[in-house]
Chains A and B, each alone.
Chain A
Amino acid sequence: MLRGAKELWLAILACLLITGLYAGFTVLTGKIPAASEFVGHTIGILGFILMILTETLYSLRKRSRSARWGRMSGWLQFHIFTGIVGPFMVLLHSSWKFNGLAGAVIILTGIVVFSGFIGRYIYTRIPRTADGFEDEGAIAGMQKAAVANARRLMALWHTIHIPIGMALFTAAFVHIIGALYYATFLR
């Protein structure tokens, strides 16, 4: 189970580091890195890759049911870390312009990240083993109503979080295709 908030601190540290580099480059060039230029583009690509990893690796691990790929708690921490750092980089990629589809993708990203924080909160309401399974022993000591309520919230959260995430990635892919079409293929 998740203990403490190490992944959160690491994510904040990474974000600060990236922010420092971003700020330094901004000061050096005297302008905010445009999304279409090298720095802005690189940040966007890396951030999106992290988001893809966020979306896929933890989900796959959950379904592997094998400790061979590492503990669930570790993957969840990775999911949280990349789920914060990736969107933060995508945010920097936006060059602080939120109009059009690109703006919609940023907004959806923010929603998904916010949703993730809520999910983490609900997730921690139910005691779990290091492999992510519910800790029946610990649950036995809880009020049944509280456990049921947490389980119901978790299910509800999944029902909302996953479609929003899918909407985000769908919009992000359309954005990428559009960027390739206009900026890379110059159409």
Chain B
Amino acid sequence: MRDNRLGCTTPLAIFASIITLLVIAGTSYASGSRFFTAGSLNAQPGREIGGITSHAEIGNDCAQCHPEPWSSEYMGDRCVRCHTDIGKELPDQSTIHGALKGDSATLNCRTCHHDHRGSTALLTEVASNDFPHAVTGFALTSHQKLNDTTAFTCLDCHPSDFEFDPTICVTCHLKVDNVFTIAHGLQFSENCLACHDGKDTYGKAFDHAQARFALMGKHTGLLCTQCHLNARSIVDLQSAPTDCQNCHQKDDPHPRGTSFECATCHNTNGWEENVAFDHQLAANFKLEGKHTGVTCDKCHTTHHLFIGAPTDCVACHEKEDPHEQRYGTRCDDCHIPTGWQENVKFDHNLAVNFKLEGKHISVPCEQCHTIPHQFIGTPIDCFACHEKEDKHNGEYGTNCGACHDPSEWKNATVDHNIFAFTLTGAHQTIPCLNCHINNIFKGTPSVCAACHGKDDAHRGAYGNDCQFCHTTSAWKPSTFSHNKTRFPLSGRHGGLSCTACHKNGQFAGTPASCAGCHGNPAFHRGLFGNNCESCHNTSNWSASYKGPHPNIADEGGRGVNHGGASCRDCHTKSLTQATCTKCHSNNDGGEKD
């Protein structure tokens, strides 16, 4: 019968498996687990830790590195038990191990460090590209390929120890460029790491412009040491002064030196090449107008002497001064560099005791300053210029400004109060020439009639003393008081209009008698004459006749009092006629109806 079981399930196969397991277990026990090792431990002596200098000295004590199966530790925990310094580095990313580990959960000691690869095998094996060498202060940016284009290995620079020996640099670079390396070492010492950080910060690709000082023109051809003399470190290189004087003081031909940077005028192409100086920025003398076209040596007459050149105008223009220095040395007070005759400016208001105002502003200088280039001493009194124009023929002296201002002759502002004839009322607003005919001021009469004669509504009836009744404010109302006359107004006369008595504006000669206005009333029929006031007064025209009355007895001494009747009760038409029947129906002896 055919056995259909799988070979591995046959008793013999199972037996073989069990035997194999037993052999492995026995061998492992007997060898102290060395049976599982892939190779012998590293035996190269290093620094002493815990009394041993190599892993090989640990021997068969596997638990020194490998935790027991029941332990919660991992191999890395056992590593830092001995390598305590590395354990301290791991959390600190400024250290090599801290930077390598970073935040990675997968990186562990074994990622870079292996053992069981033989007694002489390297314990550390990490791809150079992965190693953050910059953490050491020296990046491998420029150390990726050897001169034969093969990749760098750690051993190329660290042949025996990871402590770096700087002479390695020189040894290797002598093969790369023997001449340069020797010269460079002599110039800057062989302590390469004092300046070089592996990024070529100060290598072939170094951009001098990044170091605050771009190399241009003739600077590009210089040896480094011509500026960086005795530099032995990055600090020395970086502290090289950038001012021109530091290197070029000995070349300075300017006799008194200069506070300027050479570069203010010169460029790196050569001392004499395109010497440029921005006079506008660097000096206290800006070049404008005709000064811009003047050659430097015209003002800076001493060769290479620029600072200290005088900036006052007469230093150069003294010979040209037609004013013979009467106006000092500041030509620019009046003149501009565009030209002596161009836009001559002078602030008359600031510099002299004669401010230009009004029409004086637009008057050409020579109109007042009649002698060419002679300004100081020009008379400032008005008459010096305006005498010919004086319309007053000298009547008011030479100080025109007492009345006139420079804006306009006509805008005279006379203070009339200084004269005997003060201006009041309407006189204040009328033009001067209304009174001062033909611009003749002196001798103008002060009496009213001199001007107002033609306006006199009284036709001279009251003489020339208008002010007796009128004020200067207006003709009307007049301030006339009838009480000051021989005919004071009383009673009903006070309420009358003037024209009621003074017909046709005629005041003088107006009769003062009652009859002058009231006449002889027809009622009186001439019985009482014109002595009206003997019976009437100005308050009540209705007079009370006190007798004697013909035919009517005086009653009780109280005048005519015929039963209280008034004159007109009986004398209905005139005093010469009387009727009784107005009161009495018949002549009944005095009985009334």
Contacts and interface: CB of A to CB of B under 8 A. Distances in A.
A148 to B, nearest CB: 18
B39 A163 contact: no
A36 B115 CA distance: 11
B37 interface: yes
Given A63-B4, A186-B110, A178 B36 contact: yes
Contacts of B542: none
B146 to A, nearest CB: 13
A166 B17 contact: yes
Contacts of B71: 187
A23 to B, nearest CB: 19
Contacts of B34: 100
Contacts of A59: 6-8
Contacts, number: 87
A186 B75 contact: yes
A13 interface: no
A100 B36 contact: yes
Interface stretch (A3-11, A79-87, A124-132, A167-175): A167-175
Interface string A50-86: 0000010001100100000000000000000000000
Contacts of B8: 55, 59, 162, 165-166, 169
A99 interface: yes
B16 A167 contact: yes
A1 interface: no
A20 B77 CA distance: 40
A162 B19 contact: no
B404 to A, nearest CB: 112
A183 B14 CA distance: 29
B10 interface: yes
Given A97-B39, A100-B36, A166 B14 contact: yes
B69 interface: yes
Contacts of B28: 101
Given A100-B35, A100-B36, A166 B4 contact: no
Contacts of A165: 7-8, 13
Contacts of B67: 187
Interface string A143-187: 000000000000000110011111101110010001001110111
Interface in B76-122: 76, 108, 110, 114, 117
A163 B16 CA distance: 5
B15 interface: yes
B66 interface: yes
B58 interface: no
Contacts of B69: 181, 187
A162 B114 contact: no
B153 to A, nearest CB: 8
Contacts of B16: 162-164, 166-167, 170
B461 interface: no
Given A59-B7, A63-B6, A162-B10, A100 B74 contact: no
Contacts of B6: 59-60, 63
User: Interface SS of chain A: helix, strand, loop or mixed?
Assistant: helix
Residue among A97, A100, A169 having the largest count of chain B Cβ atoms under 10 Å: A100
Contacts of A102: 38
Interface string A95-111: 00101111010000000
Q: How large is the interface on A (under 10, 10 to 19, 20 to 34, 35 or more residues)?
A: 20 to 34
Contacts of A167: 16-17, 19-20
A55 B13 CA distance: 13
A34 interface: yes
A2 interface: no
A15 interface: no
A25 B114 CA distance: 20
Contact of B74 (A60, A97, A186): A186
B66 A171 contact: no
Nearest to B36: A178
Nearest to A34: B117
Given A164-B16, A186-B76, A171 B24 contact: yes
A14 interface: no
B20 A170 contact: yes
B564 to A, nearest CB: 159
B35 A101 contact: yes
Nearest to B8: A166
A186 B108 CA distance: 9
Nearest to B31: A100
Contacts of A97: 38-39
A163 B13 contact: yes
Contacts of B24: 101, 104, 170-171, 174
B112 to A, nearest CB: 12
B352 interface: no
B209 interface: no
Given A101-B24, A159-B12, A165-B7, A170 B17 contact: yes
A35 B24 CA distance: 21
Contacts of A164: 16
A187 B74 contact: yes
A99 B39 CA distance: 7
Contacts of A187: 66-67, 69, 71, 74-75
B139 to A, nearest CB: 24
B483 to A, nearest CB: 141
Given A59-B6, A63-B6, A101-B24, A163 B74 contact: no
Interface of A: 34-36, 55, 59-60, 63, 97, 99-102, 104, 158-159, 162-167, 169-171, 174, 178, 181-183, 185-187
A-B pairs with lowest CB-CB distance, top 7: A163-B16, A162-B7, A166-B13, A170-B20, A167-B20, A170-B17, A166-B16
Given A166-B8, A169-B8, 16 more contacts: A34-B114, A60-B6, A63-B4, A99-B40, A100-B35, A100-B38, A163-B15, A163-B16, A164-B16, A166-B20, A167-B20, A170-B16, A171-B20, A178-B36, A182-B75, A186-B110
9 contacts: A34-B114, A63-B6, A100-B37, A158-B7, A166-B13, A182-B36, A183-B110, A186-B76, A186-B110
